Amino acid sequence: MEGRLLAGRYRLESVVGRGAMGTVWRARDETLGRDVAIKEVVLPDGLSDEERANRHRRTLREARASAALSHPGVVTVHDVVDEDDRPWIVMELVRARSLQEILDEGGPLPPARAAEIGRQIAGALRAAHAMGVLHRDVKPANVLVAEDDRAVLTDFGIAQLAGDATLTGTGLLIGSPAYMAPERVNGDPAIPASDMWALGATLYAATEGRAPHHRGDAVAVLAAIVTKDVPPPRNAGPLAPVLAGLLERDPARRLTGDRAEEALKAVASGRTADGLVPGADTTTGTTAGTAPAGAGAGSVPAAHPAQPVPPYAATPYAATPHPPPGPVPGTTAQYPPSAAPEPPGEEGRARSVVVPILAGAAVAAVILAVAGVLLWPDGSSGGGEGPQAKPTTVAKQSTPGPGDTPTSPGTEPASAEPASTGDPDGTLPAGLVPARGPGFTIGVPRGWKRSARGASVFWTDPASSAYVQVDGTPWSGDPYEHWLVWERQAAADGRLKDFERLSITRTRVGDEPAADIEFTWTRSDGLTRARDRGVIAGGRSYAVVVALPAARWNENEALVKNVLDTFRPSGVG
């Protein structure tokens, strides 16, 4: 194989590493005269021809998406070659050792150095998540550290496009058991928070010398992840609260990429993470078992003072209720929603599902433990295309939808009820009444009907196609950048007919940065206009939409503003 010329330009020189997912070669790009690294992707044995073809196409598709990432903490993907019936990923050649090699040779790192490495990797993950790419296998072996302590995250070639279920095939879940998040071990799809858990486990290993739930075999590791608390770190010092925030069992309360990056920067510079990790006790390195600090009801004030306005002026001729919008395939932040936080007293019941899951994984773990990679058959939960595959709409952000498709079987709204009436505090603008959903409160027009579907709660006007929607599908990153990516994907997808962006503006929800995207699209009853506010608060991400018939927008613009400004993350649910 040495000396082989790929695609007429890449000369393979020597093997620099092998793993369960393939072989990494040092090669020479003879066209540009530079050294590169080339990963020869090896597909799992035992797949049918159709499954292999699907995996092959998906690997190429995901690698091309990874090539769009541009961040100093990401190994640059230069090219993807399809040759010899297998994919070859051409990457930047980084002259560095892996973090795993550094730990094996020199032992645990000081907290400040581990934090500096973690800061760079958190930034890389944040950039990837903003592009809709999940890594799924963050671990010390995939973190390269150069002599100047530049840290880069490699192996994005096995990353997953968030929400992509079209080429899943067998629904195999790939990753290293010791660094898998609890929700993934429980069979749920990967989300951005899963990568953040893996970063926490990687940094835990950097200071403690081994992964948080180190055990003798893969099955024992998986059982410990879902049933045992993370042992308190002994050597992490000021890094301990950040580790606790990253290794939070509930993904909805786990540190997000931007907060983790800020907290790690503080520790790396010799400061503490005080005030940067919600609910953290900096003396013990643990997080409180309550809602994140500052996320209590009413703790986030409105972005602007509310202006009293008359109730929504409904279009007189729109007498038939319009069905609430459905999910939009192909939009950004289509990360599969995580499981709802466990209600008090149900921890034991929730954990009881581990037994059959682990039993089903035992055979695979025995076969693959030597390779250190677990291929988890999660059936249709991966969104495969087989005859038993479940609908993939739960993996799509519902912000917003065409609104022209009736509710499909299995996705019926919760019993439609009018929004709460009355405002005992008298704090909402005229025409609005208080309403509540999972983790938030909001003011909605009086008389609008409440329903729920997937990760979204809707309030629809019985007399027109207008609606308010709060979507809780997880996403991460800067809200403004989030909408830029969303806009490109929504326009390319075509489900929002005649989509046209009007503006994207930065705003705030209390102390949290937020952004509004305003746009129009055509529904069955004509042109619709919407304003969609994205914000991450209290460890949760939200998209708050107000949509009206475009012809009625100007006379109701103050109402749109009031509804958005009354949105409060409450830390409840």
Q: Is 497 annotated as a binding residue?
A: no
498 is catalytic: no
Q: Nearest-CA neighbor of 117 among 207, 194, 235, 32?
A: 207
The residue whose two tokens read 């433990």 is 369
Q: Nearest-CA neighbor of 536 among 321, 287, 292?
A: 292
Q: Nearest-CA neighbor of 569 among 337, 254, 296?
A: 296
Amino acid at 91: M
Q: Nearest-CA neighbor of 477 among 204, 162, 184?
A: 162
Starting at the edge strand that comes first in sequence, how are the strands of the sheet with 432-437 ordered?
Answer: 432-437, 440-445, 568-569
Buried b (16+ CB within 10 A) or exposed e, 405-421: eeeeeeeebeeeeebee
Q: Is 486 helix (H, G, I), strand (E, B) or coil?
A: helix
Q: Nearest-CA neighbor of 547 among 286, 324, 289?
A: 324
CB-based contact 333:162 (threshold 8 Å):
yes
| CB-side neighbour CA atoms (13 Å) of 452 | 11
Q: Which residues contact 370 (CB under 8 A, 6 or more apart)?
A: none
The CA distance from 58 to 471, in Å, is 28
The CA distance from 122 to 127, in Å, is 9
Catalytic residue among 79, 137, 378, 565: 137
CB-based contact 300:568 (threshold 8 Å):
yes
Q: Which residues contact 501 (CB under 8 A, 6 or more apart)?
A: 487, 491, 517, 518, 519
Residue ranges for the binding site for ATP?
39
Which residues are part of the catalytic machinery? Answer: 137
